[in-house]
Structure 1
Amino acid sequence: MTDSKESRVPQLGLLDEEELITSGARNSQKSFGFRPKSVLSCFAGPEDVGFYYVLGMRRPAAILPRGELLSILLFTGLLVAILAQVSKVPSSEEQEKEKSNQEQLYQELNQLKTEFGHLCRPCPWDWTFFQSKCYFFSKSQRDWHESITACKEVGAQLVIVENDEEQSFLQQTSKSKGYAWMGLSDLNKESTWRWVDGSPLSFSLMQYWNKGQPNNYQEQDCVEFRGDGWNDARCNLKKFWICKKPASSCSNSDDQLPPAAPAA
């Protein structure tokens, strides 16, 4: 009896067993609403081929090898970086605005430069203004003739004293700086004192000679500011000098620029 029952059970081949497994898997999927294809496609790789074969499913076509996926990610990152750099380039509207701002700043600088050039300065730089005249007090020393030349080079004269107020101003300034030549001498005729423009020394100004001066000691033919008054001295001695010229009326733009001071 036992042998007859066992003989009645059909023997399953390999293909029947595979079909049974596949059928069971399909029924399980239907029963539980499970779709392994969508889940497994996210994780499957080349090593998962056998697993799909067992379930009787083909490998999803959407799955990419890991190398290709890495290349796509790198390309995407590079593209994002390029787009970020391009976004930093100013637009044409911003460029036009920046250009307009630069032009406006340039115009304002030019206007400021023009206004500064029109500022009235009656005397050149390093000169002193007094009673509508400009005076230059040298910082170096020359003899009397060289001092005349230095003043002529800047359009001035070795100083000529015209009145008491000017004398007081010059005397006090030269006293603080040192002995300085004025444009007075008796080189043409002894004891006949004349200014560099040829005009004679007025009687009212003779009071400014120091006591005992002029004495013509050792051919002293040129006059200097010394102490509280005037003194005659040898013309070849090195001394400071004072130049004088009219102040500017600001009508000449050249007078508004800082000219060079007389050469040392």
Structure 2
Amino acid sequence: MCRWLTYRGDPIYLEDLLFAPRYSLIEQSLHARKAAVATNGDGFGVGWYAERDLPGTYRDILPAWNDPNLRSIAHQIRSSLFLAHVRASTGTATSRANCHPFSNGRWLFMHNGQIGGYARLRRRLEALIPDGLYEQRLGTTDSEAIFYLMLHHGLDRDPLAAISAAIADVRKLMIEDGITEAFRMTASLTDGRSVYAIRYSSDAEPPSLYWRMEDGRLTIVSEPLDEHVQKWLPVPPGHVLVAAEASEVTLSALAA
């Protein structure tokens, strides 16, 4: 399973969270402690917001620990909102198009988990994405398909409803096909203003997801970045953490 982090707060250099902490995301790419697999070496990506309207992204298929360009740009880029992801493939190809985060307009999205029976469901799942959005899909992952389902269901208008509707679409197809494998996910998405972090599973074993707010700085992670585990709060299963612009963090139960 993949590892990821989201940060929103005072501008910081990306390296402060990607490389500096004891259990940084780069360390997790080699030695994850709360994942099904310890190594997440099937590519990586970062996305950030700066002075332009649309976010920037940098994605590649090298392991995150082995890309000197990532260390170089992380030393230079300073942002008040960024997403970062290290990938462990669950069956789709290791390609730049399949590396997270995915972008569409102002939105960035990244995901950890898997749709059970995705290979069987893929054609029908993709058929739910309207042509105008489907032509923008570049990769083959279930993660990107979920993102485009959310966009289809009105992510710009009502993010919580769109998230629930996309999950419901997936579950409906799984039930119709008699698939008993679990649909598990944590995901983070943002339009550059509000941040949404999802923890969901169709069984009783959702992937780990934690958050911490200190001095107005929100950090959301697949697993804690330091040894002070008690300072990191788990996102409850079946909930979305919402950090709307200029408001407190709230936790909303998924309708799906």
Q: TM-score, normalised by structure 1?
A: 0.23
**Computing the radius of gyration over CA atoms, which structure comes out larger, 1 or 2?**
1
Decide which structure has greater strand share.
2
